[in-house]
C-alpha cells in the first residue's frame, strides 16, 4: 500500500508488528501504528494465524452463517482493518489453536499453531523479515501478553525468527540475512494504565468497566518493565475504527469503548513497550521506537555481537 510521506526523512524507516490473530493488530499498539504510518514509516503486520477458532464476541454477529464461515469472515475483517491502519500485511498461514477450556484444559488441536516447534514455525517469518527489512520489530512477551497459547507461541516464533533472520547459515533460500536493529515487547495491558483510567472515570461520576478486573489483578509489577511510551493520543479514534472493523470479535458497545477518548488522551495518551534488544545507542525511557535509528544517527556495526 502506498502511504503519503509527511516527513521525507522517515521514508526509509520500516516497522514490523507480529501478532497471533486478526484483530490483535487493532487492539494492541494500533495508535502507535497509525502515528508512524502518518509520519511516513512503512509498517507491516505479520499475522501468525487466520483466527479460525475465534469466538463470536459481538452479539449482533452471533448467527450460524457467521460461525459457518469464520475463516472467510476473519480475512474480510482483516482486510478492512488493514485499510484503516494503512499497513501492509502478511499471514504466516498457521491454524488458530483456540483457547482451551475445562480443568484440566482440553488438548490443543493437532497441527494448530501452538503445537508446532517454534524453531521450525519461524520460517515464514524469517522470509518476511528478510524481504521487508524492518529496523524495528514488535511482538509479545514470554507470557503472550496474556496466556493464550497462540500468543505465547507468537512470542516464541518471533524471537526465533528474529535470531534466524540474521544468521546466514539458516534458510539461505529465503534471501540475504537481515539483522533487525531493535526488538520490543508490547505492554498494552498493565494494571497501572487501567487503574488510572478507572480512577478518572470515577472522578467524573461514571461507572468504570475495569473495577472488578482491577480487584482481581494479581501482577502489580508488570508495568515496571516498560521502557518506551509512544505518544499517540491523536490516533485513538482511528484505532477504535480499526478495532470495530473486526466486528465478529468486538462488541461495539463493550468495554473496549467504554472510556471516553478525552479521558484516555488526558490520563494515558501513550502506548507502552519494553525494549528488549537494541544494536543502536539509545537511552531509556524512550518515546520513540526509532530512537537511535533516525537519519543522521550512527548505523550499527555489522561485527557487533548480540544476545537475546
Closest by CA position to 78, among listed 91, 61, 63 = 91
Please state, as a whole number, how many other Cβ atoms lie within 10 Å of the Cβ of residue 120: 9
Q: What pLDDT was estimated at residue 81?
A: 98
CATH of the domain at 97: 3.40.50.10320
Q: What's the pLDDT tens digit per position in 20-56?
A: 999 999 999 999 999 999 999 999 999 999 999 988 8
Beta strand pairing call for 88-94 and 182-186: unpaired
| Residue 3, in any domain of the structure | no
| Percent of residues in the chain assigned helix, strand, coil, to nearest 5 | 40, 15, 45
92 burial level (CB within 10 Å; 0-12, 13-18, 19+): buried
Query: What are 252's three cell numbers?
Result: 461495539
pLDDT value of position 301? 54
pLDDT of residue 245: 97
pTM of the full predicted structure?
0.92
C-alpha distance from residue 59 to each of 33, 79, 117, 211, 247 (Å): 28, 22, 36, 23, 10
Binding residues: 21, 24, 151
- Write out the three cell numbers for 301: 556495526
- Number of structural domains the chain divides into: 1
Which pLDDT score is estimated for 294?
86
What's the pLDDT score for residue 271? Answer: 98
Q: Phi first, then psi: give them for residue 14, nearest 5 degrees.
A: -135, 135
Cell 508490547 found at? 186
Residue 220: predicted pLDDT:
80
What pLDDT does 306 receive? 40
Q: And the C-alpha cell for 119?
A: 524453531
In a domain, 78, yes or no: yes
Outline where DSSP puts E strands in 50-186: 88-94, 136-139, 182-186
Q: Give domain status of residue 89, yes or no.
A: yes
Residue 191 grid cell: 494494571
pLDDT digits (tens, 9 = 90+) for 43-94: 999 999 999 998 888 898 888 888 888 899 999 999 999 999 999 999 999 9
253 within some domain: yes
Q: What is the pLDDT of residue 235?
A: 98
- Sequence-distant (6+) residues with CB within 8 A of 247 are 58, 60, 61, 77
228-231, strands of its sheet edge to edge: 88-94, 42-49, 14-19, 136-139, 182-186, 270-278, 228-231
CA–CA separation, 130 vs 4, rounded Å? 24
**Residue positions forming the annotated binding site for Zn(2+):** 21, 24, 151
pLDDT value of residue 307: 37
**The C-alpha cell that represents 222 in the structure block:** 508488570
Q: Which residues of the chain have pLDDT under 50?
A: 1-5, 299-300, 302, 304-308
Find out whether 136 and 230 touch, Cβ atoms under 8 Å. Answer: no
**Number of C-beta neighbours around residue 43 at 10 A:** 26
Neighbours of 84 (CB within 10 A): 18
Share of the chain above pLDDT 70, in %: 93
- The answer to whether residue 291 is domain-embedded is no
Answer whether residue 212 is part of any domain: no
In a domain, 159, yes or no: yes
Q: 16 pairs with which residues across the strands?
A: 44, 137
What is the extent of the structural domain holding 54?
8-189+225-278
169's grid cell? 547459515
Q: HSE on the CB side for 275, CA within 13 Å?
A: 24
Angle, vertex CA 277, rays to CA 152 and CA 116, nearest 5: 25
- Residue 273 in any domain: the answer is yes
Residue 42: closest CA among 102, 85, 104, 91: 85
Q: Half-sphere exposure (CA, 13 Å, Cβ side) for 52?
A: 16
Amino acid at each position: 500500500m502506498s502511504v503519503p510521506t509527511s516527513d521525507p526523512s522517515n521514508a526509509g524507516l520500516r516497522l514490523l508488528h507480529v501478532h497471533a490473530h486478526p484483530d490483535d493488530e487493532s487492539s494492541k499498539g494500533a495508535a502507535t501504528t497509525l502515528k508512524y504510518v502518518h509520519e511516513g514509516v512503512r509498517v507491516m503486520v505479520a499475522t501468525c494465524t487466520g483466527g479460525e477458532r475465534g469466538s463470536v464476541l459481538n452479539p449482533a454477529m452471533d448467527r450460524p452463517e457467521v460461525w459457518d464461515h469464520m475463516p472467510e469472515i476473519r480475512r474480510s475483517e482483516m482486510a478492512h482493518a488493514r485499510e484503516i491502519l494503512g499497513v501492509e500485511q502478511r499471514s504466516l498461514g498457521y491454524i488458530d489453536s483456540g483457547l482451551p477450556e475445562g480443568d484440566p484444559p482440553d488438548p490443543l488441536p493437532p497441527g494448530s499453531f501452538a503445537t508446532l516447534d517454534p524453531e521450525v514455525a519461524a520460517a515464514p517469518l524469517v522470509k518476511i523479515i528478510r524481504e521487508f527489512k524492518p529496523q524495528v520489530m514488535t511482538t509479545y512477551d514470554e507470557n503472550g501478553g496474556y496466556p493464550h497459547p497462540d500468543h505465547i507461541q507468537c512470542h516464541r516464533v518471533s524471537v526465533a525468527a528474529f535470531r534466524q533472520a540474521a544468521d546466514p547459515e539458516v534458510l539461505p533460500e529465503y534471501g540475504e540475512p537481515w539483522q533487525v536493529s531493535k526488538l520490543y515487547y508490547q505492554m498494552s495491558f498493565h494494571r497501572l494504565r487501567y487503574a488510572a483510567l478507572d480512577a478518572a472515570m470515577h472522578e467524573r461520576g461514571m461507572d468504570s468497566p475495569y473495577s472488578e478486573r482491577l480487584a482481581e489483578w494479581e501482577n502489580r509489577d508488570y508495568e515496571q518493565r516498560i521502557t518506551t511510551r509512544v505518544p499517540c493520543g491523536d490516533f485513538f479514534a482511528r484505532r477504535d475504527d480499526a478495532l470495530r472493523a473486526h466486528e465478529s470479535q468486538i462488541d461495539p458497545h463493550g468495554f473496549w469503548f467504554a472510556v471516553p477518548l478525552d479521558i484516555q488522551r488526558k490520563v494515558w495518551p501513550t502506548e507502552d513497550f519494553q525494549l528488549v534488544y537494541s544494536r543502536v545507542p539509545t537511552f531509556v525511557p524512550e518515546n520513540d521506537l526509532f530512537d537511535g535509528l533516525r537519519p543522521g544517527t550512527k548505523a550499527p556495526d555489522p561485527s557487533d555481537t548480540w544476545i537475546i
